[in-house]
Amino acid sequence: MSIGNNNAVEFRNGEQEPTADFPEYSLWAAVLLATVEDLKDDQTKAAAEAWFTSTSREIGTFLWICEALGLNANAVRRSVR
């Protein structure tokens, strides 16, 4: 999986593991944390729950972000419940 255009960070191919040194890592980690916060707000809770339970692997989805960050999606889901 590549993130970015010019100096793409390659994840899950054994060449480079995701670390906080990459700007993209920080961006997607922030998206994940913001959505956790959205679960606490009545106005955004339904959308956040839909995002966390989605099975899509498109860019920006929960499963895609977990893969990019090297996280186990099921473990993340359990921890936010």
Q: What is the pLDDT of residue 19?
A: 58
Count how many residues are written for the chain.
81
Please tell me the predicted confidence (pLDDT) of residue 24.
86
pTM of the model: 0.72
pLDDT tens for each residue of the chain, 81 residues long: 334 333 333 444 444 555 556 778 889 999 999 999 999 999 999 999 999 999 999 999 999 999 989 899 999 999 988
- State residue 17's pLDDT score: 56
Contacts of 57 (CB under 8 A, 6+ apart): 63, 64, 67
Rounded Cα–Cα distance for residues 21 and 47 (Å): 30
